[in-house]
């Protein structure tokens, strides 16, 4: 089987980069993939989700069903965040409280694909093994999105690429909205879907390479919240 040449692929790629490769600001794409330092965005919007995800992982370290004692409302959060954490914890137990599982020792933040010269980065979810040996990847939401909108094609494809090292031939991808205590489940056949996923990734990397090679800034929606606005020519020259 012929291997695809990396052709100086970006060192860091996220699902958002792949999804918006052909329309995002090329300068922002380039600096982000090069991991250049910029204005640091506020982490407040992720504080509850990060704390809840960490407690979910802790609840599954020993296997078995999750114990509600693993979810302690953090007193260092503001009252609104505390209420959101409590609602998320209740939602998780409603969705998965009767489903035993053991946390897998898998890196769900970064996945190296050396033959493509790329590192896929971003929170993939929580990798678990059920008592029957089946593998499961749980993606937790706190946004109230409907079941149909919880997983798009890019998220599923990236999950296939990144879960392959620890999921074996097949796994179940579960996207749960903890505010509505509902979940969408998708059975993934890695053997059948991985070739198409890799072909898609190669195509998207080609688009990224072309955009980042030119790195031309574009004034528009990407300017909002961009950590690299300082020094950007269109804004500097205004």
User: 197-206 pLDDT, tens per residue?
Assistant: 999 999 999 9
Q: What is the pTM of this model?
A: 0.83
The CA-based angle 150-162-6, given to 5 degrees, is 125
Alpha-carbon Rg for the chain, nearest whole angstrom, is: 19
Locus of tokens 């990397």: 205
- Two tokens at 142? 């706190």
Q: Are 13 and 208 in contact (CB under 8 A)?
A: yes
User: 176-222 pLDDT, tens per residue?
Assistant: 999 999 999 999 999 999 999 999 999 999 988 888 887 777 787 77
Examine the pLDDT at 4 and tell me if it is beyond 50: no
User: 51-83 pLDDT, tens per residue?
Assistant: 999 999 999 999 999 988 999 999 999 999 999
pLDDT band at 39 (very low <50, low <70, confident <90, very high): low
The C-alpha atoms of residue 153 and residue 151 are separated, in whole angstroms, by: 7
Q: Are 138 and 96 in contact (CB under 8 A)?
A: yes
For residue 171, give the H/E element and its range. Answer: strand 170-177
Nearest to 70 by CA among 85, 56, 82: 56
């Amino acid at each position: 089987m012929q291997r695809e040449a990396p052709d100086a692929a970006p060192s860091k790629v996220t699902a958002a980069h792949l999804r918006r490769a052909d329309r995002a600001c090329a300068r922002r794409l380039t600096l982000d993939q090069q991991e250049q330092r910029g204005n640091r965005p506020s982490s407040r919007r992720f504080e509850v989700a990060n704390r809840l995800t960490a407690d979910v992982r802790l609840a599954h370290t020993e296997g078995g069903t999750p114990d509600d004692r693993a979810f302690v409302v953090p007193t260092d959060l503001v009252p609104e965040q505390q209420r959101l954490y409590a609602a998320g914890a209740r939602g998780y137990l409603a969705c998965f409280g009767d489903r035993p599982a053991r946390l897998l020792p898998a890196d769900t933040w970064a996945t190296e694909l050396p033959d493509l010269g790329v590192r896929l980065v971003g929170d993939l979810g929580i990798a678990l093994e059920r008592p029957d040996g089946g593998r499961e990847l749980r993606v937790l939401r706190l946004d109230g999105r409907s079941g149909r909108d919880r997983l798009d094609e890019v998220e599923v494809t990236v999950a296939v690429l990144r879960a392959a090292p620890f999921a074996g031939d097949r796994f179940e991808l579960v996207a749960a909205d903890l505010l509505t205590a509902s979940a969408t489940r998708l059975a993934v056949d890695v053997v059948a879907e991985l070739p198409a996923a890799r072909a898609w990734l190669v195509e998207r990397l080609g688009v990224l390479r072309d955009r980042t090679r030119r790195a031309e800034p574009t004034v528009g929606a990407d300017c909002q919240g961009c950590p690299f606005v300082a020094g950007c020519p269109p804004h500097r020259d205004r």
